Structure 1
């Protein structure tokens, strides 16, 4: 056994004394003692349109404030801008003292002190890094650089890049086996997951993905399985965590399948999967892969993470600016916590605030501000009754809004246009906002920016416009197939 694995074993064995990681839950082993929920724990969410990291006390399910890493538009468009853009990924150190926040628009990892909520270092990397995680021994930080073809390895003390590990282009995310032996790196651009030895940094295994778009991957605390999500085809794949890394199961989950994570309870191990297009979290047993629950949570669930004792699962609602809190005993939502705009990754850090800390852990935090303001709309099928297939959220950015549509219910792999119409039924001239192509499940995430709320909610008869989706291109849109439903009230 080399020194790295020995140190990890000692760390896992002594967690009861140090109380520093998700004991009994991810990312460590299932046989380590659980840590009960307390006011010293923290839930963090990375919010890509407000460029913030929200900080929540899970004992009270209360938002304490946000760490502001950057400005909203148009401030972040300046060529002299120095803040972060599109705050997206999160990881944390085994001792719970350092949070790593990835900003995909500014190619950076911000290292945050969890006691003071201050940034202690920023490391800039290659194009569009996606997720950062500390190795189990706490010595390295691995960052998938999704816009390129490598994993950047950083020294966890200096936060400087020390080496790069070549992988298939578009690495989406990496996670480690609980024993610190393997790293699993899925791809967002190629249909292949690779397994890397932490000791040698060599690729020692390969798993064929059923599609080329994997945004998230997770290893079970018992060290037996790895689950990965396939966002474009709406599936989850499960493979053996050890050689020969054979595929065990593929599960059809639904359109816009985002993240997966686990909770170990007295009833066994359970996988929780966020399905954005259905606004649900689906729950499966990890021993036989049987579905056990479907939990309605709110619009576009994305990242999720269990509490240190597995009693709660915290889910970021991307189009609702909130955390949904699931009771894992009943599989029901028991609380909702407002957070910043478009939460992506979520992590739960037990004992982020030390028991002997002189502060309450709220120092340096700021209020939500405009990050708390959104407008939610829906689009319905133009010719058929039934539930609205598309949710739209307008995130306030001053005089303009970031629009994000979670589109479902369309033909697979076809070209469409999100546009503004002069009439509620979609007739008349169309003003294109964004052209897009649906994935194999007939869904898509579509973005646009502009003073859209003023047109679709507040305009007079002459200036009022209506959101629609039409087949075709921006130059030649067809007859709208989805139109704006009656407006919902703005959410605070």
Structure 2
């Protein structure tokens, strides 16, 4: 009888353990399913890497308001003097899996700055090789991998020790890294080589090299289900899609001039990919399946660049490189619903759910004072299909100017001319177009007072801006692009 009771007790104990295991597994699965949809809250943050002001802008997505900025360096253009302190060209971003650390990459000072998301305080800075571009943490949080674009390797950083611990050799000019959710693979695109590298994370070895359609990829992202890797080709205006099971390219999409970044949003309406097309001031929206379908195009501000979705997939945030702002897209209605001013020239953008675990998350932020930015659009002249955009930023004693042109004659030099009422002319800056007839140029100086009247057309007093061949004798008659009136 005693033996039978012992046997029954053991059976009951085993059954209890089995039941507990099943329930725990079930709950874990349910919790995982629930945790994958994170409603927008005041504890979430959107961050932009502001390349020209060398700041990180911090946004509360629950209210779509700018809380303030984290200053990492002085505003450009103080780039020709020795840089003893601070960072230059704040550009790339990544974050830890626990959402407690933001990694900010500065291409000009070769730096990775780690920021505490709750306090906005700097944990430390690591200096690397030439021009690091983008970086991200491994899914277990133990390492931070940074693509050192000016070299031929990935820098592997110990985020606790704040030091580089190894280098992983890849194709020249690595642009960005995307990890599979299990942390076993890393996908690395290149900015100089028409090749995608697939890396075994455990061995740090390249397991496959995949030829791609162009040598210039600035951005890469993996779908939430791990089935596809999407990566952009900025130089030719395309997006490639890799099948992660076969490790082969399954689709190449024609997206448009200056295709910048890509990200994803899954919600009650389906699974979507969002692509920023800088040259067209558009975000293209694709429904994801075996044959991605373009379902709509959403107009944005000037030169959309970085992009990221909210934790519940109901919003997408888009950094406007020449608009110095962030556009908010409602992914259910597929339309732009808000615009938030940020720092000068936002590049990468990330959305971090539950970034602020305690407190209000306003420590160490500088007041969100208004940046002075004006945009002037250019339209085609004399029947051509060209277009252009000029951004003027007031930097205090000097001004910064960024010019973008598309669709002009290839490999030709053009000037941006300020033409006066009596046909006086002054060349502000000059550019040379690439093989596609596109070009970007910059200028710095005491430009604000001279160009400010053009941002208020009634005050222009006969002045206008045109783009004409360099050394044009009569820029008005030879103009290929003319200012849109009114300009702003």
Q: Which residue pairs with 2:8 in the alignment?
A: none
1:364 to 2:364 alignment: yes
- The CA distance in 1 between the partners of 2:146 and 2:153, in whole Å, is 9
Q: Which residue pairs with 2:124 in the alignment?
A: 121
- The CA distance in 2 between the partners of 1:217 and 1:168, in whole Å, is 15
Q: Which residue pairs with 1:398 in the alignment?
A: 396
SS at match of 1:55: strand
Q: Which residue pairs with 1:410 in the alignment?
A: 408
How many residues are aligned here?
458
1:44 CA displacement = 0.5
Q: Which residue pairs with 1:267 in the alignment?
A: 269
Matches within 5 A, 1:20-31: none
- The CA distance in 1 between the partners of 2:315 and 2:221, in whole Å, is 17
Matches within 5 A, 1:297-376: 297-354=300-357, 357=358, 359-369=359-369, 372-376=371-375
1:452 to 2:459 alignment: no
8 Å CA contact 1:326, 1:332 repeated in 2: yes
- The CA distance in 1 between the partners of 2:316 and 2:301, in whole Å, is 14
Q: What do the CA deviations read for 1:72-108 (whole angstroms, capped 9, x no partner)?
A: 1355554254111111101000011100011111110
SS at match of 1:457: helix
Q: What do the CA deviations read for 1:147-175 (whole angstroms, capped 9, x no partner)?
A: 11111110121121011111111111111
Q: Which moved more, 1:336-345 or 1:463-472?
A: 463-472
- Which structure 2 residue ranges, 5 or more long, are not aligned? 1-23
8 Å CA contact 1:140, 1:153 repeated in 2: yes
8 Å CA contact 2:408, 2:433 repeated in 1: no
1:66 to 2:62 alignment: no
8 Å CA contact 2:67, 2:368 repeated in 1: no
- The CA distance in 2 between the partners of 1:361 and 1:165, in whole Å, is 36
- The CA distance in 1 between the partners of 2:100 and 2:298, in whole Å, is 32
Q: Which residue pairs with 1:250 in the alignment?
A: 252
Give 1 or 2 for the bigger CA radius of gyration. 2
The match for 2:225 among 222, 225, 245 is: 222
SS at match of 2:141: coil
- The CA distance in 2 between the partners of 1:474 and 1:99, in whole Å, is 49
RMSD of aligned alpha carbons: 2.9
Q: Which residue pairs with 1:143 in the alignment?
A: 146
Q: What do the CA deviations read for 1:440-461 (whole angstroms, capped 9, x no partner)?
A: 3x33333222222322334999
Q: Relative contact order (C-alpha < 8 Å, sep 6+): which is higher?
A: 1
Q: Which residue pairs with 1:167 in the alignment?
A: 170
* TM-score normalised over the length of structure 2: 0.87
8 Å CA contact 2:421, 2:462 repeated in 1: no
Q: Which residue pairs with 1:184 in the alignment?
A: 187
Q: Which moved more, 1:373-382 or 1:248-257?
A: 373-382
Q: What do the CA deviations read for 1:359-416 (whole angstroms, capped 9, x no partner)?
A: 21011101244x6111111222232498x821111122112222122322323x4223
- The CA distance in 2 between the partners of 1:219 and 1:98, in whole Å, is 21
- The CA distance in 1 between the partners of 2:182 and 2:268, in whole Å, is 22
Q: By percentage of residues, which structure has more helix?
A: 2
1:206 CA displacement = 1.8
- The CA distance in 2 between the partners of 1:195 and 1:361, in whole Å, is 37
